[in-house]
Amino acid sequence: MTLLSWSPIGRRGADTPTPTPPRKGEGLSIVALIAALALAGCSQESSREPFAESRTPPGLAERVAPPEGWAWGFLQVGEAPVQRYGVAAPPGAPRGEILILPDPGDSAEMWFETARDLGLRGHTVWVLEAPGQGGSGRYGLSGPPRGAAGEEAVRGVRAMLDGVIRPESRPVAVLADRRAAAVALAALAGRPAAGLILSAPAPEGEGGLAGRLGIGGEGWSRRTPDDVADKLTHDAARGGVRNAWKLANPDLRRPAAPLTLAQAPSPSAGAGVLVLTGDEAQQAQALCAGQCRLVRLPGAWPALHLEADAARARWLDEIDRFVRERRDHAALQSFSSPSPPDSVAARQATGEETPQDAASERRGGQ
């Protein structure tokens, strides 16, 4: 794992030179040159490095702009493309840590408002984009081998938890949005965590939930419908945020790499899992199989973090309550766990007595 850099938010700007019209007779050579440059550009575009200098769209509401103190970082695991992540700390001492995994194809910018709101509730909020997603680095022109992007996304989540967040002092809750549920379930399988939150997990289709995690190949254009038209949210203002960020930042228009997993585990018994869902409660119930705490938000569409105020407020309340409960549960377990024995007798009983212990005991008996 490599931590590549850390930087506060910035703005990107560049002057675009005015093209000179071709002279007579240069048409064929210029066409050939344009074709060559286009091929080179496609290759460069498909493997472009990550970026963190997203330009805030003009006229964007303050609530969906970057929260105060937001900073970007980069993470690389093995040979996978560099992953982009961001973080914002609360105004006071952190009460909890939340790692957000956006839906494949979404960027971290879509979560600025949520990071701000959860920060005001006392939580440090991290947002990690998968390889080939959002502002993260892209795969080469041929794309990743089938299943590789999903497995590399799983390794990225584990590296983020162990190498960046390092939750020894405070447990971390992982919030996976929609199709990121499979990655979160695979990444946390058999690993201690404060809890897992699945926000409107993707409905099962061919191949189950893991089969639904494939996305990619579709670019963005000015004709792309907003999230209200796509029935992701009822809120007109939040429904236009995605297109606003992509319009202002060409780098965010890049097609996302297919993100697939051969197999994704189901939540295990005893694990702390909260599932928040709108009208697709049946799919969430099938995923939980009785192992989750399921909360339904009637009438809400899948992009719960972009929904209208009433549904979104309850969504935030449930997340905040769950994180606090899991934090308190972890603290209680830590308090009730017996301390490791430190006496000579205890180490003798376990066969861990050292020569120094024996010598000390003999001196005490004399």
Instruction: Give the model confidence (pLDDT) of 282-305 as tens digits.
Output: 667 777 766 788 999 999 999 999
Tokens of 240: 């236009």
Give SS3 for 155: helix
Over range 337-349, report the average pLDDT. Answer: 46
Residue 131 vs residue 271, higher pLDDT: 131
Tokens of 192: 């201690």
Instruction: Give the model confidence (pLDDT) of 214-255 as tens digits.
Output: 334 456 778 888 999 999 999 999 999 999 999 999 888 877
Residue 25 vs residue 84, higher pLDDT: 84
Say what the pTM is. 0.78
Task: Share the mean pLDDT of the chain.
Answer: 77
Instruction: Give the model confidence (pLDDT) of 153-162 as tens digits.
Output: 999 999 999 9
Residue 274 · residue 287 · CB < 8 Å:
no
- Closest by Cα among 128, 120, 232, 225 to 183: 128
- Closest by Cα among 228, 126, 139 to 176: 126
Name 175's bridge partners: 100, 197
Instruction: Give the model confidence (pLDDT) of 166-199 as tens digits.
Output: 877 678 999 999 989 989 999 998 876 668 999 9
Given phi > 0 = left and psi -120 to 50 = alpha, else beta, which region is 334? alpha
pLDDT of residue 256: 74
pLDDT of residue 140: 75
Q: How confident is the model at residue 25 (pLDDT cuts 50, 70, 90)?
A: very low
Strands 2-8 and 293-296: unpaired
Domains detected in the chain: 2-6+48-336 (3.40.50.1820)
Q: How confident is the model at residue 352 (pLDDT cuts 50, 70, 90)?
A: very low
Continuous segment of H or E residues that includes residue 73: strand 71-76
Spatial CB neighbours of 197, under 8 Å, sequence gap ≥ 6: 173, 174, 175, 176, 273, 274, 275, 276, 319, 322
pLDDT of residue 270: 54
Strands 96-101 and 172-177: parallel
Strands 2-8 and 71-76: antiparallel
| Cβ-based neighbour number of residue 327 at 10 Å | 20
**Would you say how long the chain is, in residues?**
366
